[in-house]
């Protein structure tokens, strides 16, 4: 039995137990899609639903995305992988969900695949962690060793680029954007209702998929996720035109970590860096 | 025609705006390129204001607030400091000149400093030339 199959079995057993004992009203996990390679996010609400749960190497969606869709106080069990658990922590920090209402089913994994390409996801495009940070139950064997050097290594190439070249690079990337907002839909941290881009009073940016509006949308979104992005890489995988959004998010996360000495979603005791301050913050960061 | 920079100044009501007032009442000269908008606190500034200002043709944005520790609301400028530092880093990584955004702490009694900062910043923007990257082309 492969590791994935074992996790699936564990997931089903735990989901059945939690639902039967009435500890939770919904289990957020993965369900059958139109074929093996395309599982879907799935919410099991009854014991009969549990048999639809699947887990395989294509289950890369961040289920923390769906936590905020339930009213506060709903008891939820959620299946999380490494980055997803950080998203859950971040949502707890932001008081979107309460720790006591959650049963976190941790899944340590390695070698997830992207359903779009069928290839193994490069750990450079994600946070590079394999074990969940916070969990109540671990459903598989902990992955030892083998953490990629640093999640920010991939940035070096872009950081040493000339400013003009970098501008050209991003302009080209953002000009591809068709404003489908898949990045926003896939992101566990994008829960504003309405999103700034959907507001018409004030109208923050043009809604047409053209250069100025795209630039405004993406730059502001990066800003809104500063110090909150947990680097799951879902935005770039959801993107139909393959904009490497993860690069920018990583860069902002790196800067925030350097300036404020705190990475997003590592402890439920922390506060998100931009709604916090220290008197001893240096003015140097403004230079 | 020579290039005259358009600079948006966003000034906090309690310190920088009053400082600008002082610069005026003491008849200090500073370049006329600055258009000042008054906000109640530097933490009122949504980073989108800055992005939008650049899109609508500002060549530079100068943000003024109280000195850290002197905020009228005690902590507003400490939040603003973190936020605007992040804004700067974002502009920089996008390939935009981060020098076009400047944050200064100017208190109500620093009319001199206000005039100096505006003069210096205007000169700096003049050096950088017109801002064309984010500006919406008609």
Contact with chain B for residue A192, Cβ under 8 A: no
- Give domain status of residue B2, yes or no: no
Structural domain count, chain A: 2
> Are residues B137 and B65 in contact, defined by beta-carbon separation less than 8 angstroms?
no
pLDDT class of A187 with cuts at 50, 70, 90? very high
- Give domain status of residue A54, yes or no: yes
Query: Which residues of chain A are within 8 Å of residue B97 when distances are taken between CB atoms?
Result: 163
Q: Could B82 and A196 be called an inter-chain contact, meaning their C-beta atoms sit closer than 8 Å?
A: no
pLDDT class of A287 with cuts at 50, 70, 90? confident
pLDDT class of A91 with cuts at 50, 70, 90? very high
Cis peptide before A194 (omega within 30 of 0): yes
Which residues are CB-neighbours of A54 under 8 A, at least 6 positions away?
A: A8, A30, A31, A32, A39
Mean pLDDT throughout A138-146?
79
Q: Strand A40-44 and strand B101-105: pairing?
A: unpaired
Contact with chain B for residue A164, Cβ under 8 A: yes
- Give domain status of residue A249, yes or no: yes
> Are residues A232 and A188 in contact, defined by beta-carbon separation less than 8 angstroms?
yes
Question: H or E element: which one contains A102?
Answer: strand A102-106
Please tell me what DSSP assigns to residue A149. Answer: S
Residue/partner pairs of A33-37 with CB below 8 Å, 24 or more apart: A37/A115, A37/A118
Computed over its alpha carbons, how large is the radius of gyration of chain A?
19
Angle between helices B47-55 and B76-93 (to 10 degrees): 40
Out of A78, A104, A138, a domain closes at: A138
Contact with chain B for residue A215, Cβ under 8 A: yes
- Give domain status of residue B59, yes or no: yes
pLDDT at residue A11, as a whole number: 92
- Give domain status of residue A48, yes or no: yes
Q: Mapping DSSP to helix (H, G, I), strand (E, B) and coil, where does residue A137 land?
A: strand
pLDDT at residue A37, as a whole number: 86
Out of A86, A110, A138, a domain closes at: A138
Same-domain status, A191 and A72 = no
pLDDT at residue B66, as a whole number: 94
pLDDT at residue A145, as a whole number: 67
Write the ipTM.
Answer: 0.93
pLDDT at residue B113, as a whole number: 95
Out of A72, A103, A138, a domain closes at: A138
Q: Mapping DSSP to helix (H, G, I), strand (E, B) and coil, where does residue A113 land?
A: strand
pLDDT at residue A115, as a whole number: 85
Name the residue among A165, A215, A255 with its Cβ closest to that of B86. Answer: A255
CB-count exposure of residue A22 (10 Å: 0-12, 13-18, 19+): exposed
Q: How far apart are CA B99 and CA B53, in angstroms?
A: 15
Token pair listed for A258: 């350097």
Same-domain status, A102 and A159 = no
CA dihedral (A60, A65, A67, A70) in degrees, to 10, reads -130
**Residues paired with A211 in a beta bridge:** none
CA dihedral (A135, A138, A139, A143) in degrees, to 10, reads 110
Q: To probe the interface with A, which of B75, B83, B89 has the most A CB atoms within 10 Å?
A: B89
- Give domain status of residue B137, yes or no: no
- Give domain status of residue A148, yes or no: no
- Give domain status of residue A150, yes or no: no
- Give domain status of residue B1, yes or no: no
The rounded Cα A81 to chain-centroid distance in angstroms is 10
Mean pLDDT throughout A157-184?
93
Same-domain status, A16 and A114 = yes
Residue/partner pairs of A125-128 with CB below 8 Å, 24 or more apart: A125/A154, A125/A233, A125/A236, A125/A237, A125/A244, A125/A246, A126/A83, A126/A151, A126/A231, A126/A232, A126/A233, A126/A246, A127/A82, A127/A83, A127/A86, A127/A151, A127/A230, A127/A231, A127/A232, A127/A233
Residue A85 vs residues A13, A152, A226, A232, B18: alpha-carbon distances, Å: 20, 19, 18, 10, 48
- Give domain status of residue B45, yes or no: yes
Q: To probe the interface with A, which of B65, B82, B129, B134 has the most A CB atoms within 10 Å?
A: B82
Mean pLDDT throughout A105-129?
85
- Give domain status of residue B133, yes or no: no
> Are residues A83 and A107 in contact, defined by beta-carbon separation less than 8 angstroms?
no
- Give domain status of residue A147, yes or no: no
Angle between helices B76-93 and A211-224 (to 10 degrees): 130
Q: How far is B82 from chain A (nearest CA, A)?
A: 6
> Are residues B106 and B17 in contact, defined by beta-carbon separation less than 8 angstroms?
no
Q: Could B55 and A216 be called an inter-chain contact, meaning their C-beta atoms sit closer than 8 Å?
A: yes
Q: What's B109's domain CATH number?
A: 3.40.50.960
Mean pLDDT throughout A21-26?
93
Q: What is the pLDDT of residues A253-282, one digit of tens each?
A: 999 999 999 999 999 999 999 999 988 888
pLDDT class of A36 with cuts at 50, 70, 90? confident
Dump the DSSP string for B23-56: HHHTT----TTEEEEEES-GGG--HHHHHHHHHT
Q: Could B82 and A277 be called an inter-chain contact, meaning their C-beta atoms sit closer than 8 Å?
A: yes
Nearest Cα neighbor of A229 from A135, A103, A94 is A94
Q: Could B55 and A226 be called an inter-chain contact, meaning their C-beta atoms sit closer than 8 Å?
A: no
Same-domain status, A85 and A203 = no
Q: What is the pLDDT of residues B19-40, one digit of tens each?
A: 999 999 999 999 999 999 999 9
pLDDT class of A110 with cuts at 50, 70, 90? confident
Q: Mapping DSSP to helix (H, G, I), strand (E, B) and coil, where does residue B116 land?
A: helix
pLDDT at residue A146, as a whole number: 63
Q: How far is B23 from chain A (nearest CA, A)?
A: 24
Kindly report the backbone phi and psi dihedral angles of residue B101, in degrees, each rounded to the nearest multiple of 5, phi listed first. -115, 125
Q: What is the mean pLDDT of chain A?
A: 90
DSSP H helical ranges for chain B: 16-25, 47-55, 76-93, 111-128
- Give domain status of residue B121, yes or no: yes
Name the residue among A170, A216, A276 with its Cβ closest to that of B95. Answer: A170
Q: Quick check: A1 pLDDT over 60? A: no
Q: Minimum mean pLDDT among A27-31, A124-128, A160-164, A185-189: which range?
A: A124-128
Query: Which residues of chain B are within 8 Å of residue A216 when distances are taken between CB atoms?
Result: 48, 51-52, 55
pLDDT at residue A147, as a whole number: 64
Contact with chain B for residue A277, Cβ under 8 A: yes
pLDDT at residue A63, as a whole number: 93
Same-domain status, A122 and A172 = no
Residue linked to tokens 């000195």: B67
Query: Per CB distance under 8 Å, which residues of B are interface residues toward A?
Result: 47-48, 51-52, 55, 68-69, 75, 78-79, 81-91, 93-97, 103, 105, 133-134, 136
Q: Mapping DSSP to helix (H, G, I), strand (E, B) and coil, where does residue A232 land?
A: coil
Mean pLDDT throughout A12-19?
94
Q: Could B47 and A164 be called an inter-chain contact, meaning their C-beta atoms sit closer than 8 Å?
A: no
Mean pLDDT throughout A171-194?
93
Q: Could B87 and A223 be called an inter-chain contact, meaning their C-beta atoms sit closer than 8 Å?
A: yes
What's the domain range around A50?
A: 4-138
What's the domain range around B54?
A: 7-128
Q: To probe the interface with B, which of A201, A286, A287 has the most B CB atoms within 10 Å?
A: A286
Same-domain status, A79 and A171 = no
Structural domain count, chain B: 1
Mean pLDDT throughout A227-248?
92
Same-domain status, A88 and A162 = no
């Amino acid at each position: 039995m492969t590791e994935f199959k074992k996790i699936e079995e564990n997931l089903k057993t735990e989901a059945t137990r939690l639902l039967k004992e009435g500890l939770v009203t919904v289990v957020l996990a993965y369900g059958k899609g139109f074929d093996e390679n395309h599982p879907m996010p799935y919410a099991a609400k009854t014991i009969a639903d549990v048999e639809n749960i699947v887990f395989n190497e294509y289950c890369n969606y961040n289920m923390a995305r769906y936590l905020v869709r339930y009213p506060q106080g709903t008891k939820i069990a959620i299946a999380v992988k490494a980055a997803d658990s950080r998203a859950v922590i971040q949502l707890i920090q932001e008081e979107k969900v309460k720790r006591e209402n959650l049963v976190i089913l941790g899944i340590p994994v390695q070698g997830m695949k992207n359903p779009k390409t069928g290839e193994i996801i490069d750990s450079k495009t994600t946070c590079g962690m394999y074990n969940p940070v916070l969990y109540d139950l671990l459903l598989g064997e902990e992955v030892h060793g083998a953490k990629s050097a640093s999640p920010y290594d991939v940035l070096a190439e872009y950081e040493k680029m000339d400013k003009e070249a970098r501008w050209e690079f991003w302009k080209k990337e953002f000009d591809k954007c068709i404003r489908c907002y898949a990045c926003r839909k896939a992101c566990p941290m994008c829960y504003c209702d309405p999103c700034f881009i959907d507001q018409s009073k004030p109208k923050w940016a043009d809604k047409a998929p053209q250069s100025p509006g795209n630039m405004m949308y993406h730059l502001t979104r990066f800003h809104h996720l500063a110090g909150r992005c947990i680097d799951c890489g879902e935005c770039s995988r959801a993107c139909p035109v393959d904009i490497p959004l993860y690069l920018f998010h990583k860069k902002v996360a790196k800067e925030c970590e350097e300036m404020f000495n705190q990475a997003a979603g590592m402890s439920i005791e922390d506060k998100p860096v931009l709604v916090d301050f220290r008197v001893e913050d240096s003015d140097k960061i403004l230079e | 025609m020579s290039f005259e920079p358009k600079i948006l100044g966003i000034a906090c009501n309690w310190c920088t705006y009053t400082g600008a007032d002082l610069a005026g009442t003491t008849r200090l000269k500073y370049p006329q390129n600055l258009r000042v908008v008054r906000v109640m606190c530097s933490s009122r500034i949504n980073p989108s204001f800055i992005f939008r200002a650049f899109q609508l043709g500002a060549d530079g944005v100068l943000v003024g607030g109280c000195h850290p520790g002197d905020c009228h609301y005690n902590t507003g400028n400490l939040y603003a400091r973190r936020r605007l530092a992040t804004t700067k880093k974002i502009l920089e990584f996008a390939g935009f000149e981060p020098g076009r955004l400047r944050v200064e702490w100017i208190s109500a009694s620093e009319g001199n400093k206000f005039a100096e900062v505006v003069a210096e910043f205007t000169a700096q923007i003049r050096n950088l030339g017109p801002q064309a990257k984010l500006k919406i082309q008609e």
